[in-house]
């Protein structure tokens, strides 16, 4: 079943009333999705709109997209919990930034200058070479037109690509993968998420796989008594009385064997690529392995939580700084690891909303509005901060408290869908958005 986002995140701040209500609302609503998952405990989840996904049927001629034909790959990262974009990419020329953040603002001398107006947080030094080389672009004051300050709703709106519409049960990335179809065989690993469940971003008609840990598809231990995990599941399905599961078992395990053949337990990153030994670092290392294994991955997704900094956020050091170092070091290692293959990869980061401009009474920030997105890629026109900056003067703030949204996040993702995945019908990918290609930021 597709994950609705917040429940699968590393949510560490249950002290937030809104977050607590969101979690309760989520647990009560259930959000049933009429799709079937394969394999227990999220080891492998194959999601489609029918009982037997089309890519598992040997008699069906599968489809391949423009992305596959052009060897393009898109990696999507969700920062769950609403990261404080103002302390990630700092507008250090704004006087109100310092006036409203007396103890958590990043001082100009501490930041990593980008263009004379914006600076990176000092713990994000790994991003500076990527920016200087023109591979990393930034979109500031980006976000959703929906005013929700609920993590649960805002994440759903961003993952579905339909702000304000709660009934959408598929994701923008899945719809983007349904674009311009070409005849040919389609890989079982076309859409992959690192995690226990397929996220809403990838839920939909195109089958998607969720993987907890690639090493689980090698050998479950050492010694002659230990059988490969795939054999255990093979026996379970052979004995199953469920005709649907039994009928798709062989094809499912064919896909598993493809992955096991890459020998994930022995993977060695490229020279110099040092991933942090964190869940996020490990996820990106496994995505790099999947992309480099030529398994036909077109879209990969992972997330990183811990951004809900209501208390003790810190400034140049502290809670947020530690998370940003993990975030930037992991992405930098991923990019180095991709090596020559990086030219065909585009990576995008997003978070459901930003934080208030004013710090609160507990040294943190509360739920805000606009935020910052990063774009990294061989085709990205980087070394630039894109978007219209709205300003931080009192009269320029959204509802008198937040950075205003001047770039709809769908415009950013729409450009990616169009130029990376080959989506021609953007209205189908982002219904109601009325995206116009001539309004793209042209970061690719």
Asked whether residue 420 is domain-assigned, the answer is: yes
Q: How far apart are CA 72 and CA 417, in angstroms?
A: 11
Ranking 244-248, 323-327, 343-347 by mean pLDDT, the lowest is 244-248
Q: How far apart are CA 397 and CA 108, in angstroms?
A: 22
> Residue 191: is its pLDDT beyond 80?
yes
pLDDT in tens, 211-222: 888 876 532 233
4 versus 337: the higher-pLDDT residue is: 337
pLDDT of residue 247: 36
pLDDT in tens, 280-333: 999 999 999 999 988 889 999 999 999 999 999 999 999 999 999 999 999 999
pLDDT of residue 209: 86
Whether the CB-CB separation of 81 and 13 falls below 8 Å is answered with yes
Q: How far apart are CA 299 and CA 330, in angstroms?
A: 18
**Both structure tokens of 152:** 């649960």
Asked whether residue 42 is domain-assigned, the answer is: yes
Rg, C-alpha atoms of the chain: 22
Percent of the chain with pLDDT over 90: 65
Asked whether residue 143 is domain-assigned, the answer is: yes
pLDDT of residue 171: 98
Asked whether residue 223 is domain-assigned, the answer is: yes
> Residue 243: is its pLDDT beyond 50?
no
Q: What is the pTM of this model?
A: 0.83
pLDDT of residue 19: 54
Q: Cα-Cα-Cα-Cα dihedral of 311, 317, 318, 319, to 10°?
A: 80
Query: For the residues 244-248, what does the mean pLDDT come to?
Result: 38
pLDDT in tens, 35-81: 333 333 333 444 433 333 333 333 223 334 555 557 899 999 999 99
Q: Are strands 118-120 and 112-113 parallel, antiparallel or unpaired?
A: antiparallel
Domain region containing 428: 6-439
Ranking 5-14, 146-155, 204-213 by mean pLDDT, the lowest is 5-14
Q: Which residues of 36-52 are buried (b: 16+ CB within 10 A; e: fewer)?
A: bbbbeebbbbbbbbeeb
Ranking 3-17, 85-99, 112-126, 353-367 by mean pLDDT, the lowest is 3-17
Asked whether residue 1 is domain-assigned, the answer is: no
pLDDT in tens, 352-395: 999 999 999 999 999 999 999 999 999 999 999 999 999 999 99
**For 386, how many CA atoms within 13 A lie in the half-sphere containing its CB?**
25
Instruction: Band the pLDDT of 4: cuts 50, 70, 90.
Output: low
52 versus 137: the higher-pLDDT residue is: 137
> Residue 412: is its pLDDT beyond 80?
yes
pLDDT of residue 128: 98
How far is CA 37 from each of CA 241, 245, 386, rounded to the nearest angstrom? 16, 10, 40
The secondary structure of the chain, three-state, reads: CCECCHHHCCCCCCCCHHHHHHHHHHHHHCCCCCCCCCCHHHCCEEECCCCCCHHHCCCCCCEEEHHHHCCCEEEEEEECCCCCHHHCEEECCCHHHHHCCCCCCCCCCCCEECCCCEEECHHHHHHHHHHHCCCEEEEEEEECCCCCCCHHHHHHHHHHCCCCCCCCCCCHHHHHHCCCEEECCCCCCCEEEECCCCEHHHCCCCCEEEECCHHHHCECCCCCCCCEHHHHHHHHHHCCCCHHHHHHHHHHHHHHHHHHCCCHHHCCCCCCCCCCCCHHHHHHHHHHHHHHCCCCCCEEEEEECCCCCCCCCCCCCCHHHHHHHHHHHHHHHHHHHHHHHHHHEEEEEECCCCECCCCCCCCCCCECCCEEEEEEECCCCCCEEECCCCCCCHHHCECCCECCCCEEHHHHHHHHHHHCCCCCCHHHHCCCCCCCHHHCCCCC
Asked whether residue 444 is domain-assigned, the answer is: no
Percent of the chain with pLDDT over 70: 73
> Residue 196: is its pLDDT beyond 90?
no
Q: Report how many domains make up the chain.
A: 1
238 versus 216: the higher-pLDDT residue is: 216
pLDDT of residue 47: 41
């Amino acid at each position: 079943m597709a994950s609705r986002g917040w429940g699968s995140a590393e949510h560490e701040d249950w002290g937030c009333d809104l977050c607590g209500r969101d979690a309760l609302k989520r647990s009560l609503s259930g959000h049933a999705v009429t799709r079937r998952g394969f394999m227990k405990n999220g080891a492998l989840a194959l999601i489609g709109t029918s009982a037997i996904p089309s890519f598992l049927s040997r008699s069906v001629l599968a489809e391949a997209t423009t992305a596959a034909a052009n060897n393009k790959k898109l990696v999507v990262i969700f920062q769950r919990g609403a990261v404080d974009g103002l302390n990630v990419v700092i507008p250090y020329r704004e006087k109100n930034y310092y006036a409203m953040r007396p103890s958590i603002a990043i001082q100009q001398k501490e930041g990593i200058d980008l263009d004379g107006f914006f600076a990176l947080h000092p713990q994000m030094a790994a991003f500076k070479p990527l920016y200087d080389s023109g591979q990393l672009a930034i979109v500031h004051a980006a976000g959703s037109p929906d005013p929700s300050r609920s993590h649960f709703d805002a994440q759903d709106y961003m993952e579905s690509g339909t702000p304000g519409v709660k009934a959408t049960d598929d994701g923008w990335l899945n719809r983007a993968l349904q674009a311009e179809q070409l005849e040919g065989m389609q890989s079982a690993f076309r859409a992959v998420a690192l995690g226990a469940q397929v996220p809403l971003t990838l839920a939909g008609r195109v089958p998607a796989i969720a993987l907890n840990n690639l090493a689980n598809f090698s050998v479950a231990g050492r010694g002659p008594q230990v059988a490969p995990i795939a054999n255990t599941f093979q026996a379970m399905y052979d004995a199953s009385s469920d005709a649907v599961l039994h009928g798709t078992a062989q094809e499912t395990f064919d896909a598993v064997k493809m992955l096991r053949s890459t020998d994930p337990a022995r993977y060695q990153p490229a020279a110099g690529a040092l991933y942090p030994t964190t869940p996020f670092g490990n996820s990106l290392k496994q995505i790099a392995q999947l992309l480099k294994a030529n398994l036909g991955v077109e879209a990969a997704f992972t997330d990183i939580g811990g951004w809900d900094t209501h208390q003790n956020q810190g400034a140049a050091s502290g809670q947020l700084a530690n998370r940003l170092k993990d975030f930037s070091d992991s992405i930098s290692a991923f990019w180095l690891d991709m090596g020559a293959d990086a030219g065909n990869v585009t990576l995008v980061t997003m978070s459901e909303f930003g934080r208030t401009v004013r710090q609160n009474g507990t040294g943190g920030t509360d739920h805000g509005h606009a935020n910052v997105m990063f774009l990294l890629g061989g085709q990205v026109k980087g070394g630039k901060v894109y978007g219209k900056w709205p300003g931080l003067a009192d009269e320029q703030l959204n509802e008198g408290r937040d950075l205003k949204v001047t770039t709809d996040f769908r415009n950013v993702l729409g450009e990616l869908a169009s130029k990376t995945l080959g989506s021609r019908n953007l209205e189908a990918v982002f219904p109601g958005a009325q995206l116009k290609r001539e309004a793209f930021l042209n970061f690719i």
